[in-house]
Structure 1
Amino acid sequence: MGKLYIVPTPIGNLGDITLRSLEVLKNVDVIFSEDTRNTLALLNHFNINKKLISYHKDNELKASENIIQHVLSGETVALVSDAGTPCISDPGNIVVRKMNDLGIPVEVLPGATAFVPAVVRSGFPTERIFFCGFLPSKNRERRDFLNYLRDNVFASIVFYEAPHRIKATLRELLMVFDPPVAVVRELSKMYETLYFIQNESSLDDIVEKGEFVIVVNNNIVKYVEKGDAELVDFIFRLKEEDFSNQDIIKILKAFGVKRNRAYKLVVERD
């Protein structure tokens, strides 16, 4: 039996590819690729000559079966996306799930992905990161999802967005979350740019070209710093979820609230 390798590729700068990724691409029998033209350019740059087979969202089911047959026949297979790590807002999850169910070896290589450097670049807290990928396309579904995130996910929240949608999405985010919203454009490329969007007028600065990663700071620390009113609201929501007073005090302490203050807010207000 062969093996499937999930191989990350650079998101912009070819120098970001890992030595191990190059080794795998050189030695596998066949490479399945989201965009064979882009992958061919990458392989040519590193003088790698391999058979390429298309694997994208429109043929993912059929191509997954093809990969499985190659591996069962004893071949080694690499799966690459257009850029970054397959399965992260890209095709690949179906074949990995099928192979796990069948007990077929899969090896995932660490490497490039856009959302991690974007969070670090934003300067927002990194203790808790919630990756959302692309938002729902339907208006009502998207609004409901954003409201859910605001009220329930206390983390640095990360989204991907296309250039033709970036300004509309940021307008919606400003209606739901407190500014600033961090936007990183063209990560690792020559024209990499970081924006901090404070209000609608800030949107005029954005160049609507390239790849965008959006980071929202919805961490609980932000609410701790605001004062008792916001904390009381947060405590109320935790109690609605059946957290005990003791657990709520521990949560508040973990985010920097002193024990005496936490006790007064949780117990003395009951």
Structure 2
Amino acid sequence: MPATLYIVATPIGNLEDITLRALRILKEVDLIAAEDTRHSRKLLTHFGISRPLTSYFDHNQALKGEYILEQLRDGKSVALITDAGTPCISDPGYQLVRDAAAEGVAVVPIPGACAAVTALSASGLPTDFFTFAGFLPNKQGKRRERLQALAAEKAVLIFYESPKRLQATLADMLETMGDREVVVARELTKLHEEFMRGPLSRLAAEVAEREEIRGEVAILVSPAPEVESVEGPQMEELLKRYLESGEHSLKDAVKRVTQETGLPKGTVYAEALRLKEEGLAEG
């Protein structure tokens, strides 16, 4: 196995979801780079795999990335794995892939489990066009900004979220995106796997009533609804009027136009940002 970087997907819960090819590669490589060596050692021990192991995560990727590249330069083979699922998907690793490829090292993906695709496949939402948005910001202000920027997307939106922030995130989604159909997938492939389906308002209320939510969570939001043309003054004209008056902030202008037109807040917000970026409105 000459100088090759293997991107090896591991189970997201159920250990039976690892592939035969992944097991073979992990047994044959010279080095395994893992996000958390303690966590990965349990997986490797379960399958009787004993290979040299090194850590590679967000806070040591510069140092360990160079170490791994040195092993590859020496002609060794390395498998990159994460705690669960496919490496480089909302996990460290893309810099290592980029640097290895730049040096002419072969980068070979070993496909397998991915929470986003797993959740989407069983969601019942359209699967032909979707956007993976990863983790949202922890702070509410930044989180709402990100949601508003995505609110007009005509694709299914897929997010990862901590169970501790699920209630707050659903409430922010309802505020910024309107009462859309959503799916909350929890503990995928594990014993307590759960899919919650329904309008945002109902799911937000249900989650708020629960004493505790456990396990990693994926949230899938249905595409932005098609907007019928607005009777009377158009959305753009109204936004320009409020923004150019100098009496309203962008947030206030969006709120007023949303109330007057009945359009989704995300749609109005996206148009307001476009006007600002193109210099068509002040404020």
1:231 aligned residue (218, 223, 228)? 228
Question: In 2, distance between residues paired with 1:205 and 1:218?
Answer: 27
Assess if the C-alpha contact under 8 Å between 1:61 and 1:94 holds in 2.
no
| Distance in 2 (alpha carbons) for counterparts of 1:3 and 1:97 | 13
The TM-score normalised by the length of structure 2 is 0.76
**Is the CA contact (8 Å cut-off) linking 1:183 and 1:197 kept in structure 2?**
no
Deviations 1:93-129 (A, max 9, x none): 1101111222221111111110001112210101101
Question: Any residues of structure 2 matched to 1:94-109 within 5 Å, and which?
Answer: 94-109=95-110
Structure 2 matches for 1:5-84, cutoff 5 A? 5-84=6-85
Is 1:142 the counterpart of 2:147? The answer is no
How many residues in Structure 1 have an aligned counterpart in Structure 2?
226
Residue in structure 2 matched with residue 211 of structure 1 by the alignment: 216
Give me the whole-angstrom Cα distance separating, in 2, the residues matched to 1:97 and 1:206: 44
How far did residue 135 of structure 1 move? 0.7
**What TM-score do you get using the length of structure 1 for normalisation?**
0.79
C-alpha displacement of 1:142: 1.9
Please give the alpha-carbon distance, in whole angstroms, between the structure 1 residues aligned to 2:80 and 2:222.
Answer: 33
Give the secondary structure class of the aligned counterpart of 1:4: strand
Code of the residue aligned with 2:8 in structure 1: it is V
Query: Structure 2: which amino acid aligns with 1:47?
Result: G
- Residue 169 of structure 1 aligns with an amino acid whose one-letter code is T
CA distance in 1, matches of 2:131, 2:148: 15
Structure 2: 5+ residue runs without aligned partners? Answer: 236-283
CA distance in 2, matches of 1:76, 1:201: 50
Q: Distance in 1 between matches of 2:160 and 2:198?
A: 16
| Whole-Å separation in 1 of the counterparts to 2:192 and 2:133 | 25
Q: Which sections of structure 1, spanning at least 5 residues, go unmatched?
A: 224-229, 238-270
1:138 Cα shift? 3.5
Alignment-derived partner of residue 130 in structure 1: 131
1:109 and 1:83 mapped to 2: Cα distance?
Answer: 14
Runs of 4+ that moved beyond 3 A: none
2:173 aligned residue:
173
Deviation at 1:37, TM superposition (A): 1.2
- What is the rounded CA distance, in whole Å, between the counterparts of 1:137 and 1:162 in structure 2? 10
In structure 1, give the amino acid aligned to 2:74. Answer: S
Distance 2:6 2:80 in 1: 6
Instruction: Give me the whole-angstrom Cα distance separating, in 1, the residues matched to 2:169 and 2:198.
Output: 12
In structure 2, the CA distance between the partners of 1:172 and 1:68, relative to structure 1 (3 Å rule), is same
What's the CA shift for 1:197? Answer: 4.8
Report deviation, 1:205: 4.6
2:47 corresponds to which letter in structure 1? F
Q: Residue by residue, what CA displacement relative to the aligned partner does 1:177-196 show, whole Å, maximum 9, x if unpaired?
A: 23332100000000000112
Residues 85-124 of structure 1 mapped to structure 2, 5 A cutoff? 85-124=86-125
- Distance in 2, matches of 1:206 and 1:68, equals 47
Shift of 1:206: 7.8
Cα offset, 1:8, TM superposition: 0.5
CA, structure 1 residues 98+205, in 2 after alignment: closer, same or farther (shift >3 Å)? same
Match of 1:250 in 2: none
Rounded Cα–Cα distance in structure 2 between residues aligned with 1:143 and 1:66 = 39
Structure 1 SS opposite 2:49: coil
Q: CA deviation at 1:174?
A: 1.4
Measure, in 1, the Cα distance between the counterparts of 2:62 and 2:212: 36
Q: Would you say the 8 A contact 1:130–1:158 is kept in 2?
A: yes
Q: Return the alpha-carbon distance in structure 2 between the equivalents of residues 90 and 35 of structure 1.
A: 12
Tell me how large the CA RMSD over aligned residues is.
1.7
Q: What do the CA deviations read for 1:141-169 (whole angstroms, capped 9, x no partner)?
A: 32122111112x21110000011111111
| 1:48-74 residue CA offsets vs partner (Å, 9 max, x unmatched) | 111110111110111111111001101
Give CA-to-partner distance per residue, 1:178-235, whole Å, 9 cap, x none. Answer: 333210000000000011253232222584111100000015xx42xxxxxx2336xx
In structure 1, how many angstroms separate the alpha carbons of the residues matched to 2:194 and 2:107? 36
State the 1:91 CA deviation: 1.0
